[in-house]
């Protein structure tokens, strides 16, 4: 069965964005981009909420074509353009786009059907609302959390809709030069 792997930046106090969706506190470096490239190599589907999808779809389709495109821009743009995309959104469910499925109803059933189909992993980058929905229904198999050295005090929480205790097992941790700590967890069997 395919796995859903979430990749999220969080603050030390557990927020994935500021009160107005700010993400200006996120630290990134080339080593982190290279690690994310190993995730996308093993994934053929991207899963987003509406807001993140619109942001991604406005940037990644042509990111590789820009004259100042980085190695990461080129690699991720090529991946984005080649993979299937699933968007969880009640307002976009009748929209059509190339290689994109919009789900607004029966989300747990639709996601479980997707997990049963043959293929590689399903990646979630960001997308707090979609992540909260999947967490609520215990559909995430692995978590890559990038803990940034900052406290916000308020914002969008990482774990907003956990319904019951969920045991996780730490697979690995990694310190990046920019001060971020990567934590890789999977559901404990």
pTM listed for this prediction: 0.92
**CA–CA dist 112, 106 (Å, integer):** 10
- Quote the pLDDT of residue 92: 86
- Quote the pLDDT of residue 139: 93
User: Which residues make Cβ contacts (< 8 Å) with residue 84, sequence separation at least 6?
Assistant: 44, 45, 46, 99, 100, 101
Please report, for the chain, how many H helices and E strands are present, in that order.
5, 10
Domain boundaries, the chain: 4-53+85-187
**CA–CA dist 54, 52 (Å, integer):** 5
Walk along the chain (189 residues) and give the pLDDT tens digit of each residue: 899 999 999 999 999 999 998 999 999 999 999 999 999 999 999 999 999 999 999 999 999 999 999 999 999 999 999 999 999 998 887 788 889 999 999 999 999 999 999 999 999 998 888 999 999 998 999 999 999 999 999 999 999 878 788 899 999 999 999 999 999 999 987
Residue 17 contacts residue 23 (beta carbons within 8 Å): yes
Closest CA to 133 of 104, 112, 161: 161
In sequence order, what E strands does the chain have?
A: 4-11, 15-17, 43-49, 84-88, 100-103, 121-125, 142-148, 156-157, 168-175, 181-187
- Quote the pLDDT of residue 44: 97
- Determine how β-strand 181-187 pairs with β-strand 168-175: antiparallel
**CA–CA dist 91, 40 (Å, integer):** 28
**Domain 4-53+85-187 -> CATH class:** alpha beta
- Quote the pLDDT of residue 91: 87
- Quote the pLDDT of residue 33: 92
């Amino acid at each position: 069965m395919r796995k859903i792997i979430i990749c999220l930046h969080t603050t030390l106090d557990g927020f994935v964005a500021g009160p107005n969706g700010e993400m200006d506190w996120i630290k990134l470096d080339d080593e982190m981009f290279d690690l994310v490239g190993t995730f996308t190599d093993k994934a053929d589907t991207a899963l987003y909420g509406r807001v993140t999808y619109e942001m991604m779809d406005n940037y990644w389709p042509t990111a590789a074509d820009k004259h100042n495109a980085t190695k990461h821009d080129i690699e991720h743009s090529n991946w984005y353009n080649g993979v299937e995309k699933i968007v969880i959104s009640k307002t976009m469910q009748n929209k059509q786009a190339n290689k994109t499925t919009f789900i607004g109803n029966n989300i747990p059933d639709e996601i479980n059907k997707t997990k049963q189909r043959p293929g590689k992993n399903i990646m979630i980058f960001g997308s707090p609302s979609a992540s909260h929905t999947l967490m609520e229904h215990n559909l995430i198999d692995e978590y890559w959390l990038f803990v940034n050295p900052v406290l916000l005090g308020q914002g969008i929480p990482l774990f907003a809709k956990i319904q019951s205790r969920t045991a996780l097992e730490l697979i690995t941790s990694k310190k990046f030069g920019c001060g971020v700590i990567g934590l890789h967890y999977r559901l404990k069997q």
